[in-house]
Amino acid sequence: MAEHNEYGHTGEELAVDYLRQQGYTILDVNWRSGHREIDIVAEKEECLVIVEVKSRRNTDYGRPEDAVSSRKIRRIVLAADAYVRCFKLDLPVRYDIITVTGRGSNARIEHIEDAFRSPVWYR
């Protein structure tokens, strides 16, 4: 596995541990629907929480959350819709971003709740 992929995987593991400590139930990690993927699917207080994880060694090239573009948001929302349909869920959905900056014990985790809204409108 390439080093940047390993770093991303480590960031996801840290995010899962963090969410569990905060009282979230982890339903899935790296759930796929076709070419779309959800990093973490969690539940807390009867709300389905879709979490995008962004890991960076530092912020020299910007904040990790800035890498979540409008195109990426659309793909996350479409994957979340597929998840809800696949498991026939009837829960409100919230979209969060967790950023992991740094390495090892120096890693800083930031949880941005309700980071974005769904840009997808159904007719």
Identify the band that residue 123 occupies on the pLDDT scale cut at 50, 70 and 90: very low
Give kind and range of the element (H or E) at residue 25: strand 25-33
Say what the pLDDT of residue 6 is: 59
Identify the band that residue 34 occupies on the pLDDT scale cut at 50, 70 and 90: very high
Domain residue ranges in the chain: 3-116
Residue 22: exposure state from Cβ atoms within 10 A (0-12, 13-18, ≥19):
exposed
Say what the pLDDT of residue 61 is: 86
- Closest among 28, 24, 34, 43 to 79, alpha carbons compared: 34
Question: What CATH number labels 3-116?
Answer: 3.40.1350.10
Identify the band that residue 1 occupies on the pLDDT scale cut at 50, 70 and 90: low
In the numeric block, which tokens belong to residue 50? 């879709």
**Predicted model pTM:** 0.90
